[in-house]
């Protein structure tokens, strides 16, 4: 893109560790951190992000599909003792959108093959604050940080809104679950898209959440849709509607139980989030 190409090579056998790094304010997108064994792969030093104790560290990002790239790279690394032909076959199988057997004997379903997402309304309320004030919950400022911390989203971070199209903005969020939200921990990487409502009196914020470190978290993504609309200006109030849905990429016999637990805990978190935001805004008036 910028007229400069960096090309380097190292062996699968040279890799000591691979970790998926969630997006942050500085990286904007998820990345893969690859560490080589001490003294290995020195021909690729010019492509390394850093060198620590003789170990080259690489940071790879900007994948067309991070989840597919992550699965493929991890599968090939774990199969590094196999023949080259076997590795190529694994890569092809990981990248295809047709069926793949999972660890839970489920089936991987490509995005194009997924059924239409069913969204359920989980929260609807009129809040005594004007729309612009309430939207501060999505602006990365002190109100958002305070509210998200209180509902159990630890180490919460959000990037700035960026616009690629007129009246359409996108940002990334990341946080870890407190034990209040998940007894076993876990974390969330999310993408939010903000656009005006058709009547131009409010905003729609759509969020896609990927869960890591939770039961079968790689089997599904959680979708949230916020609709925030300003009421008559003299009322100094706005209406809020929130919808939830789960999109499954693999089938599992635990699907109904997971849907019930995820939707229940997410609904409770969202209700608490807007309740806290309303209280915080009433204190500042």
128 shares a domain with 70:
no
Q: Is 226 exposed, middle or buried (0-12, 13-18, 19+ CB in 10 A)?
A: buried
Q: What is the CATH number of the domain that holds 138?
A: 3.30.530.20
Q: Residue 92 domain-assigned?
A: no
- Please count the helices (runs of H) and the strands (runs of E) in the chain: 5, 12
Measured in whole angstroms, the distance separating CA 65 from the mean position of its chain's CA atoms is 12
pLDDT for position 3: 60
Q: Residue 44: pLDDT above 80?
A: yes
Of the candidates 40, 52, 45, the one whose C-alpha atom is nearest the C-alpha of residue 14 is: 40
Question: Of the residues 27, 62, 82, which one is the last residue of a structural domain?
Answer: 82
Residues 186 and 53 in one domain: no
pLDDT at 150 (0 to 100)? 92
**Mean pLDDT value of segment 9-28:** 80
Q: 96 in a domain, yes or no?
A: no
pLDDT digits (tens, 9 = 90+) for 70-79: 878 887 887 7
Q: How many residues does the chain have?
A: 285
Q: Residue 17 falls within a domain, yes or no?
A: yes
**pLDDT-derived band of residue 2, with 50, 70 and 90 as boundaries?**
low
22 and 148 within one domain? no
Given a contact cutoff of 8 angstroms between Cβ atoms, the answer to whether 190 and 225 are in contact is no
Q: Which of 61, 82, 103 is the last residue of a domain?
A: 82
Are 203 and 197 spatial neighbours (Cβ–Cβ below 8 Å)?
A: yes
102: Cα within 13 Å, side-chain hemisphere: 18
Q: How far apart are CA 227 and CA 110, in angstroms?
A: 29
Give residue-wise pLDDT tens across range 175-231.
988 887 777 678 888 899 999 998 888 999 999 988 887 777 778 888 999 999 988
pLDDT of the residue at 111: 35
Half-sphere exposure of 200 (CA within 13 A, CB side): 1
What's the longest Cα–Cα distance across the chain?
72
Q: Are 272 and 151 in contact (CB under 8 A)?
A: yes
Q: Is the pLDDT of residue 113 over 60?
A: no
Alpha helices (runs of H) in the chain, residue ranges in sequence order: 66-78, 84-95, 131-134, 142-150, 255-284
Which pLDDT belongs to residue 213? Answer: 77
| pLDDT, mean of residues 54-67 | 83
Note whether 152 and 270 are same-domain residues. yes
Backbone angles phi, psi at 209, to 5 degrees: -110, 130
161 lies in the same domain as 233: yes
Q: Round the average pLDDT of the chain to a whole number and report it.
A: 80
> What whole-number percentage of the chain has pLDDT above 70?
81
CA nearest neighbour of 16 among 48, 52, 55:
55
Greater model confidence, 104 or 152: 152
Whole-number Å distance between alpha carbons of 226 and 131 = 12
Alpha-carbon gap, residue 265 to 177, rounded angstroms: 12
Shared domain check, 78 and 161:
no
Check whether 90 has a pLDDT greater than 60.
Answer: no
Residues 203, 124 within the same domain = yes
Name the band, by pLDDT with cuts 50, 70 and 90, for residue 64.
low
What's the pLDDT at 93? 55
Q: What is the pLDDT averaged over residues 16-28? A: 76
Q: Is residue 278 part of a domain?
A: yes
123 and 229 both lie in a single domain: yes
* End-to-end Cα separation, the chain, in angstroms: 49
Among 59-68, 74-83, 105-114, 173-182, name the one with the lowest average pLDDT: 105-114
> Other CB atoms closer than 10 Å to residue 186's CB: what's the count?
15
In-domain check, residue 109: no
Range of the domain at 150: 119-284
pLDDT at 87: 55
Q: pLDDT value at position 108?
A: 31
pLDDT at 96: 52
Does residue 130 share a domain with residue 77? no
On whether residue 134 sits in a domain, the answer given is yes
pTM score of the predicted model: 0.60
**Into how many domains does the chain fold?**
2
200, part of any domain: yes
Residues 154 and 261 in one domain: yes
Q: Is the pLDDT of residue 233 over 50?
A: yes
Residues in Cβ contact with 131 at an 8 Å cutoff, skipping those fewer than 6 apart? 202, 203, 228, 229, 230, 238
Query: By the 8 A CB rule, do 66 and 1 touch?
Result: no
Q: Do 51 and 126 share a domain, yes or no?
A: no
Query: 174 lies in a domain?
Result: yes
Which of 31, 61, 82 is the endpoint of a domain?
82
Residues 186 and 248 in one domain: yes
* Local confidence band at 97 (pLDDT 50, 70, 90 cut-offs): very low
Lowest mean pLDDT among 61-70, 99-108, 135-144, 205-214: 99-108
């Amino acid at each position: 893109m910028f007229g400069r190409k960096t090309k380097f090579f190292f062996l699968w056998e040279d890799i000591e560790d691979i970790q998926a790094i969630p997006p942050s304010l500085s990286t904007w997108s998820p990345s893969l951190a690859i560490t080589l064994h001490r003294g290995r792969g020195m021909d690729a030093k010019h492509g390394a992000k850093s060198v620590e104790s003789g170990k080259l560290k690489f940071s790879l990002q900007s994948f067309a599909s991070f989840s597919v790239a992550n699965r493929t790279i991890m599968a090939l690394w774990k199969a590094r003792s196999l023949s080259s032909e076997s590795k190529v076959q694994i890569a092809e199988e990981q990248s295809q959108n047709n069926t793949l057997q999972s660890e839970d004997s489920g089936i991987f379903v490509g995005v194009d093959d997924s059924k239409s997402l069913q969204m359920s309304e989980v929260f609807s309320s009129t809040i005594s604050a004007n729309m612009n004030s309430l939207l501060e919950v999505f602006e990365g400022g002190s109100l958002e940080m305070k509210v998200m911390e209180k509902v159990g989203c630890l180490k919460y971070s959000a990037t700035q809104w960026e616009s690629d199209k007129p009246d359409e903005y996108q940002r990334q969020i990341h946080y870890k679950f407190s034990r209040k939200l998940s007894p076993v921990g876990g974390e969330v990487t999310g993408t939010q898209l903000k656009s005006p409502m058709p009547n131009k009196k409010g905003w729609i914020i759509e969020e896609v959440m990927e869960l890591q470190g939770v039961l079968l978290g790689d089997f599904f993504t959680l979708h949230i849709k916020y609709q925030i609309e300003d009421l008559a200006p003299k009322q100094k109030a706005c209406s809020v509607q929130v919808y939830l849905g789960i999109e499954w990429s693999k089938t599992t016999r635990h699907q109904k139980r997971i849907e019930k637990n995820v939707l229940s805990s997410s609904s409770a978190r969202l209700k608490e989030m807007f309740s806290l935001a309303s209280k915080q805004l009433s204190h500042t008036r």
